[in-house]
């Protein structure tokens, strides 16, 4: 039960229990599969803090992803101020920030991750197109990786060498995820005037991003192959974390593999439709890891 999860996480104040419950409902609604994986596969004391980090990331993205560049910049400035005020005062009028502050008290690495993420949001607000691989790498380092580390820092090992390997694995994972995220949402991003596929790769293949073609198909294959290399390298993550986190990470990486396979299958049709992992396969993967975890722990 959720109340027991809050107990095990040391969240005792009635208002905070309501706040975390509110964030749980929100995350379960907009990230159903991710919430299920965290709830079923991560140790109970960690789950509310993962929920808080994911809710904060989603709230931030929602605030800075609407309107003109001026609107987005103003929204980020306002939000940055509210976040800093919450940390300075140890409280906020907003439940999502009250939870974030409490989570950072339990897990101090979260505060540094929030700082890096908010700094990276400036790049997220500013970009219109990505010129080449070098610019894509800067985008991933400055925004995508800090966004992932909001939650990943909760799983990071304390040993310095293992932690360095963990961050390297997270970097490879988010490079893969961001690349096929741009492919999955290609049709929507093109309509919004913000395609994430590097422009030099588009030009090299002579691809028209607005319609299916052989050229676009070859571009998708090239980008999928690059993501595949990074995703394979990210498997090292399960070797360096605490054993109790490994089922969750295996599931996360497995779902990304399903996403990548779906992108390959969609190919040039991504010009006109979005893509995503098949729900039955993702559910089966989660079920296998849940059953295996239950057998190992005796629950």
At 250 the pLDDT is 96
Do 132 and 272 lie in one domain? The reply is yes
Do 105 and 134 lie in one domain? The reply is no
Domain count within the chain: 2
End-of-domain residue from the set 75, 108, 126: 126
Q: Are 66 and 72 in contact (CB under 8 A)?
A: yes
User: Does residue 104 surpass a pLDDT of 90?
Assistant: yes
Do 194 and 288 lie in one domain? The reply is yes
In the structure, what pLDDT confidence band is assigned to residue 298 with cuts at 50, 70 and 90? low
Q: Which of the residue ranges 10-19, 30-39, 193-202, 229-238 would you say has the lowest mean pLDDT?
A: 30-39
Q: Are 152 and 241 in contact (CB under 8 A)?
A: no
DSSP string, 196-244: -S-HHHHHHHT--TTS--HHHHHHHHHHHHHHHHHHHHGGGHHHHS-GG
Do 172 and 79 lie in one domain? The reply is no
**DSSP secondary-structure letter at 272?**
T
At residue 256, φ and ψ (nearest 5 deg) are -65, -35
> How far is 201 from 59, CA to CA, in rounded Å?
32
Burial class (CB in 10 A: 0-12, 13-18, 19+), 45: middle
Range of the domain at 178: 128-299
Do 59 and 19 lie in one domain? The reply is yes
* CATH code of 217's domain: 1.10.600.10
At 60 the pLDDT is 97
> How far is 206 from 218, CA to CA, in rounded Å?
10
Q: Are 154 and 107 in contact (CB under 8 A)?
A: yes
Average pLDDT, the chain: 95
In the structure, what pLDDT confidence band is assigned to residue 127 with cuts at 50, 70 and 90? confident
Do 114 and 192 lie in one domain? The reply is no
At 299 the pLDDT is 58
> How far is 2 from 21, CA to CA, in rounded Å?
8
End-of-domain residue from the set 97, 126, 155: 126
Q: Which has more confidence, 5 or 33?
A: 5
End-of-domain residue from the set 89, 105, 126: 126
Do 106 and 186 lie in one domain? The reply is no
Q: Are 91 and 100 in contact (CB under 8 A)?
A: no
Do 157 and 32 lie in one domain? The reply is no
Do 170 and 292 lie in one domain? The reply is yes
Do 222 and 288 lie in one domain? The reply is yes
Q: How many CB atoms lie within 10 A of CB 61?
A: 13
| Cα 49–Cα 50–Cα 51 angle in degrees, nearest 5 | 90
pLDDT digits (tens, 9 = 90+) for 258-273: 999 999 999 999 999 9
Do 133 and 219 lie in one domain? The reply is yes
Query: Does the global pTM surpass 0.75?
Result: yes
Do 118 and 176 lie in one domain? The reply is no
């Amino acid at each position: 039960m959720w109340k027991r999860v809050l107990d095990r996480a040391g969240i005792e104040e009635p208002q905070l229990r309501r706040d975390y419950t509110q964030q749980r409902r929100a995350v379960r609604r907009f990230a159903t599969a991710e919430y299920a994986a965290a709830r079923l596969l991560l140790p109970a004391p960690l789950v509310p803090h993962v929920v808080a980090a994911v809710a904060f990331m989603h709230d931030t993205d929602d605030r800075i992803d609407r309107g003109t560049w001026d609107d987005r910049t103003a929204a980020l400035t306002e939000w940055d101020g509210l976040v800093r005020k919450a940390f300075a005062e140890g409280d906020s009028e907003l439940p999502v920030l009250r939870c974030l502050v409490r989570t950072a008290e339990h897990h101090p690495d979260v505060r540094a991750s929030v700082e890096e993420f908010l700094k990276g949001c400036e790049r997220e607000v500013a970009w219109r197109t990505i010129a080449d691989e070098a610019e894509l790498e800067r985008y991933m380092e400055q925004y995508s990786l800090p966004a992932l580390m909001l939650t990943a820092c909760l799983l990071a090992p304390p040993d310095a060498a293992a932690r360095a390997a963990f961050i390297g694995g997270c970097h490879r994972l988010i490079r893969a995820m961001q690349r096929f995220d741009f492919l999955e949402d290609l049709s929507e991003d093109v309509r919004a005037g913000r395609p994430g596929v590097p422009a030099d790769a588009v030009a090299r293949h002579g691809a028209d991003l607005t319609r299916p073609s052989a050229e676009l198909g070859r571009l998708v294959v090239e980008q999928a192959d690059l993501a595949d290399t990074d995703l394979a390298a990210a498997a090292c993550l399960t070797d360096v974390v605490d054993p109790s986190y490994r089922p969750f990470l295996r599931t996360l990486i497995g779902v990304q593999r399903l996403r990548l396979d779906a992108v390959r299958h969609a190919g040039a049709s991504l010009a006109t439709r979005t893509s995503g992992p098949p729900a039955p396969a993702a559910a089966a993967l989660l079920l296998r890891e849940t059953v295996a975890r239950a057998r190992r722990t005796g629950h």
